[in-house]
Amino acid sequence: MNNKLPLLALLILGAAASAQDAPAQLDAVTVQRGAMTTSVAPYGQINELLAGLQTYGEGLFRFEFHMKPKDPAKLVATPTLAIQHADFYRPLKIAPDGLVELPVLPAEQAKNADVITNQPKGSLQLQGSIELTTPPSALDLAGVRRMVALSGRLKRELLPWYVRPLFPSMSGVRVCSAQPGWEMQWRDEKGQLWGVTLPPAPGETDPKVKTPAQQCTVLTGQEHWPESAKLVAPADARLSVKLL
């Protein structure tokens, strides 16, 4: 399993849709209040998840949400989304690849708000993926251990209990690139440079990059190297969350 998350009621969280999967008409548009009546998902739990990461995530993680049609052929118009509450109406910006920018709202506003659309009921879903903010060039073993440890604390104790199922159980960091060539390098107390070649992990794939096929390796934080050991990887390398 890549970075697909568990289901909760009307909210569907899974591996983020790729640009190839998203229809071309998913552009940012201006919509008017009253133009949309179908609920896609309640906003309370989504907001709690985003707020929890903002408060406790130490800047290491972010959630990305994509709007994905279940059947693009059944779309009746250009898809639009908004957050609706009895006291406000907020259109949402949708990127061409379906990425939706979701805000963090005050809890009292969010708990009775809904994400709504102009599409028929059940025709759209929100898919969410947990992403890492650390670039490959800045990743070291200490960072891997920090991410894995913090993800466990978020799921067990830091996030509100009712949104913990939305947060994945992380087992490591996946490193993918078109060609292998990953190393961990560090210097000892005498300044001697050491390096270890990382082997490809069988069956591992980048959840976002389908073509061309990429190769991947995984760091779990349990490796017996100094915490200062730093990743050296090809320029096209991308990091993603490896789930349990």
Q: Lowest mean pLDDT: which of 63-67, 140-144, 231-235?
A: 63-67
pLDDT at 36: 55
Please write down the HEC assignment for all residues of 69-133: ECCHHHCCCCCCEEEECCCCEEECCECCCCEECCCCCCHHHHCCCEEEECCCCCCEEEEEEEEEC
pLDDT at 19: 29
**Predicted confidence band at 69 (pLDDT cuts at 50, 70, 90)?**
confident
How is residue 228 written in tokens? 């200062």
Measured between alpha carbons, how far is residue 216 from residues 15, 129, 164 in Å? 17, 18, 28
**Percentage of the chain exceeding pLDDT 90:** 62
**Predicted confidence band at 28 (pLDDT cuts at 50, 70, 90)?**
very low
pLDDT at 201: 94
Q: d(Cα 91, Cα 116) in Å, to the nearest integer?
A: 9
**Predicted confidence band at 33 (pLDDT cuts at 50, 70, 90)?**
very low
Q: How many CB atoms lie within 10 A of CB 223?
A: 15
Q: Exposed, middle or buried: residue 89 (CB in 10 Å: 0-12, 13-18, 19+)?
A: middle
226 pLDDT above the threshold of 60? yes
Name beta bridge partners: 173. 219, 241
Q: Lowest mean pLDDT: which of 75-79, 105-109, 170-174, 225-229?
A: 75-79
Average pLDDT over residues 137-152: 97
pLDDT at 152: 95
**Predicted confidence band at 29 (pLDDT cuts at 50, 70, 90)?**
very low
15 pLDDT above the threshold of 60? no
